[in-house]
Structure 1
Amino acid sequence: MKTGKRGYAAILWIALLVAIGLLRATNRYLVDIANHVPSLFTPKLIDELTGSLSFGVFLPVLFVVLRRIARMTSAPARVLSHLGLFLSLSLAQTSLMLGLRLLVFPLAGFARFAAMPTGWRYLMEMPTQLFFYAVIALGLWLVDRYREGQARELRAAQLESALSDARLEALRLQLNPHFLFNTLNAVSELMYERPQVADEMLSRIGELLRATLSATAQEHRLADEWQLLSLYLDIQRARFGSGLDAQVEGDAALDDLHVPFLILQPLVENAIEHGGGGDGRRVAVDARREAGRLTLRIRDFGGGTSRPGHGIGFANVDARLRHLYGDDAGVSRDAAVGGGSVVTVWLPARRWAAA
């Protein structure tokens, strides 16, 4: 594959050199016509083709040496290297060009146009060679600086992305020990008075932890989030029994929308722990699509002692949303009509596409 690309590039390069020679020969020919000095086109074409092709032969080597010179730290060394490189290029290119003309002109039947190498001939070619040398050296330097700048920007973007991913992962992993601590604390309260309930809670905890610890992505389908929330609510129902009324209202049409992993559990936990009171805890969770956004609401019907930023749950959700979606997502907590409070999460409504 690489060989094919190199061959294609070589063909294009030769075609470009031939095109340059053809255009220069045509220009010279038309100038003669405009000056009413009739001339032959073929000798001019041979002149220009031998000039462009002989110069093109040395360009790959020229690029390599110019890049080495650019890496030199000493300014005098760079100047001397450029001088030596130019003189070497001029001598080699002119020699090759004159040699080709001595060979091609007789073969084409224009022997009288073949000029023998002389010192003046070498000097005559130098101004044109110097111009092209300077243009190529400057152009190559600018291209290399541009590529280096692009590479630095790419590395910076990759580093920023890796740092953002690390922060997100740290935020996500915060949830597991926090949730585990709270739940095991509840189990410890029940294990002597209601051992069967505590055993059922431990079984559900195991299922939920297997699901969460096996996850590797920051996002998944809303349908998967509902499953995790169902496992969590089973744990809380085992803990509170009939004292917990948790209602979840989901629209199957929204199941393929993507949401942050385990985004609902800490908010529902907060609603259960702080939004209820006494033996009656009522929580309602729903999802809707509004104006191109997915909106998740967690409503409690208690007195409500939690505030935005209270505990790890709300702050964690807010930080994760900002890392993942910037200003396109957020979370808020407001007083609900009729008592209690409602936490609202909004984020872009985008379909989940599994890798």
Structure 2
Amino acid sequence: MLSLELDKPAFMQRKSAWLMLWLGVLVLIGLLNALHRYLNNVSAGAPALFAVNLIEEMTGSLSFGLMMPVLILALRKIRNVQPLWLRLSCHVPVLIVLSVLHTSLMWGSRVVLFALGGLGTYRYGVTSWRYLMEFPSDVFYYLLVAAVLWLLDRYREAQQRELRAVQLESALSEARLDALRLQLNPHFLFNTLNAVSSIMYDQPRVADEMLARIGDLLRATLNAKKQEHPLGEEWRLLALYLDIQRARFGEQLVVDIEADPALDGYRVPFLVLQPLVENAIEHGGGATRHIDIQAARIAAQLEIRIRNDGAAVGENTHSGHGIGLGNVEARLQHLYGDAAGVQLERREGQGATVRVWLPLPGEQPA
């Protein structure tokens, strides 16, 4: 499964930004409430110092905000309580404790700030009634915080589920691609060893040369770790494979490759050409097997054509063991979706052509 690296500096920056935003919200609420009370007093003909209203509202807002981390932790713990009636019951003592602490913090902080600000002694009134008076507003803010927290957590969980789904889909697609790519090794090995066995008694030196080059190509394929590599590397692997076939067919095999070197930096699926070229050679027919391979950029696509003079480039080489077009088509679909494809074109009496097209980025490769 894919893993995400945690960027600690970026995480701390985001955390600081959220903290500053939350503090700003608390200050804004306090300012607005203080302004509301001050203007209400003015309109009623009983003006009071704005500083008095400001201290009272700021202490109310900031003291509640100070308890928010503990409240959030408690609300999340309560969610895990079972059964439902017990979970709902847990909110009652938490709400009572919250209201008592909130009222006590407001009272104590106002007493201190009034003295520091030279506003005289802060008079809170009858203490028991003050605790009861603050309770309804604390109920409202408690329910508001609980509802917002529940929505935020649901949203975060939905995002995490979506991320896990994307990661699982990516891992599944990668596993399927690995399975398809790993088909190439036994497919190639079976066919080339079958070719070696057909000449090992009549042409032992050629068979020995083929085995040596098979080893070189297998080392290259087994060391591959990625689904894609540069087109230039694909040409190199194809050259190794063609050396094996030339050792087998000698001058009877003629392969012409026409490709712009500027395309070599573009990435293509690993070993996408070998099974198609193999089938083109096997079905080349006649005394001479002539294979044409062309690669060109057409608009935003890389197009590769493999043509032979025989019957069918894309058909299975050996019954029960060939993978041909099926493997190539499946890999292209997993890697690029509908932006890539492969097509077999037969021409009566003129052989067959396989056309492969892949999407290309807008910029030239580095």
- What is the TM-score with the length of structure 2 in the denominator? 0.90
Q: Give the corresponding residue for 1:325.
A: 336
Deviations 1:193-249 (A, max 9, x none): 111111111111111111111110000101010001111111101100011111111
Of 13-22 and 310-319, the range deviating more from structure 2? 13-22
Gap regions ≥5 residues in structure 2? 1-7
> Cα offset for 1:330?
0.5
CA distance in 1, matches of 2:316, 2:151: 53
> Residue 188 of structure 1: SS of its match in structure 2?
helix
Gap regions ≥5 residues in structure 1? none
Question: Counterpart of 1:273 in structure 2: which amino acid?
Answer: E
> Cα offset for 1:269?
0.4
Q: Give the corresponding residue for 1:278.
A: 286
Q: Give the corresponding residue for 2:5.
A: none
Contact 2:285/2:309 (CA < 8 Å) preserved in 1?
no
Contact 2:231/2:267 (CA < 8 Å) preserved in 1?
yes
Question: Counterpart of 2:340 in structure 1: which amino acid?
Answer: A
Q: Give the corresponding residue for 2:152.
A: 143
> Residue 279 of structure 1: SS of its match in structure 2?
coil
Q: Give the corresponding residue for 2:201.
A: 192
CA distance in 1, matches of 2:140, 2:26: 17
> Residue 210 of structure 1: SS of its match in structure 2?
helix
Question: Counterpart of 1:282 in structure 2: which amino acid?
Answer: H
> Cα offset for 1:4?
6.5
Deviations 1:255-276 (A, max 9, x none): 11110000000000011112x2
Q: Give the corresponding residue for 1:91.
A: 100
Q: Give the corresponding residue for 1:77.
A: 86
Contact 1:287/1:294 (CA < 8 Å) preserved in 2?
yes
Query: Alpha carbons of 1:307 and 1:209: their partners in 2 closer, same or farther (altered >3 Å)?
Result: closer
Q: Give aligned pairs, total.
A: 353
- What is the TM-score with the length of structure 1 in the denominator? 0.93
Deviations 1:132-174 (A, max 9, x none): 1111001101111111111111111111111110100000010
CA distance in 2, matches of 1:297, 1:305: 11
CA distance in 1, matches of 2:348, 2:83: 76
1:199-348 equivalences under 5 Å are 199-274=208-283, 276-304=284-312, 307=315, 311-336=322-347, 339-348=350-359
> Residue 111 of structure 1: SS of its match in structure 2?
coil
Query: Alpha carbons of 1:336 and 1:143: their partners in 2 closer, same or farther (altered >3 Å)?
Result: same
Query: Alpha carbons of 1:265 and 1:135: their partners in 2 closer, same or farther (altered >3 Å)?
Result: same
Deviations 1:309-353 (A, max 9, x none): 983121000000000000001100012486001000011013697
Deviations 1:96-127 (A, max 9, x none): 11122222223323235421452211111112
Let me know the Cα RMSD of the aligned residues: 2.3
CA distance in 1, matches of 2:253, 2:238: 15
Contact 1:321/1:329 (CA < 8 Å) preserved in 2?
yes
CA distance in 1, matches of 2:187, 2:210: 16
Contact 2:293/2:304 (CA < 8 Å) preserved in 1?
yes
CA distance in 1, matches of 2:12, 2:304: 55
Contact 1:246/1:283 (CA < 8 Å) preserved in 2?
yes
CA distance in 1, matches of 2:230, 2:188: 21
Query: Alpha carbons of 1:324 and 1:37: their partners in 2 closer, same or farther (altered >3 Å)?
Result: same
Contact 1:105/1:111 (CA < 8 Å) preserved in 2?
yes
> Cα offset for 1:30?
2.5
Contact 2:30/2:61 (CA < 8 Å) preserved in 1?
yes
